[in-house]
Structure 1
């Protein structure tokens, strides 16, 4: 139950139970039931994620890599393509304002993805993860 959404739902439900349920045993039973249902939902989502990741259909399994492709293209545009285009057309004396965007949010996503990929590679090399390929 490490994810923040589950913790916040349990926290909110706990405060509601504290206000409206006086019996401690009933309150504990309801909290336990809520946690069990949330855990069941999390496990079901994990199974869906496994099925999506193993799918051969590009629209199902391809959305995860597409996030990486978008971040990679944005990084290439920001650091290579835009400066080279501006330099190239600047040689002929043409000044063009290429679109700029805030790369900080995309770089955060990209670095997180690269970090997770690096961690997964490390786990595979050390054979500490289930399903080592």
Structure 2
């Protein structure tokens, strides 16, 4: 019985591997496509993710450090009057974009781990 159970797991594993290999072929075909709308959507979404990550790093790491440096130089009188500090980013749109991208990734991971069929949706 144990051997039959293992064989069933191997069949299921082989099925999953074949599905992944098929998806790789689809990805290759999309990447070679002449249309930027077919070939470029994955890099575009990845680029948006990088922009969101950089904006997040600026807002919550670099900007506070720059404000601290600004305060030090202002206290010393090294900054000319009338010069304004760097602008803070509008975080509402930033959070919306990053949360949506993370949510889509989490949703897809959940679907994969629970074996949800998404090809019929």
Q: Which runs of 4+ in 1 moved over 2 A?
A: 50-54, 88-96
State the SS of the aligned residue for 1:55. Answer: helix
State the SS of the aligned residue for 1:98. Answer: coil
Distance in structure 2 (CA, Å) of the matches to 1:56 and 1:78: 37
Query: 1:7-55: per-residue Cα shift (whole Å, max 9, x none)?
Result: xxxxxxxxxxxxxxxxxxxxxxxxxxxxxxxxxxxxxxxxxxx769952
Distance in structure 2 (CA, Å) of the matches to 1:79 and 1:56: 38
**Count of residues in Structure 1 that have an aligned counterpart in Structure 2:** 82
* Structure 1 position 121, deviation (Å): 0.9
Distance in structure 1 (CA, Å) of the matches to 2:29 and 2:46: 10
Give the TM-score, by structure 2 length: 0.52
User: Is 1:55 paired with 2:31?
Assistant: yes
Higher relative contact order (CA 8 A, sep 6+): 2
* Structure 1 position 120, deviation (Å): 0.7
CA RMSD of aligned residues (A): 3.3
Identify the residue that residue 92 of structure 2 maps to in structure 1: 104
Distance in structure 1 (CA, Å) of the matches to 2:90 and 2:49: 17
User: Is 1:83 paired with 2:64?
Assistant: yes
Give the TM-score, by structure 1 length: 0.48
State the SS of the aligned residue for 1:100. Answer: coil
Structure 1 residue runs without a partner (length 5+): 1-49
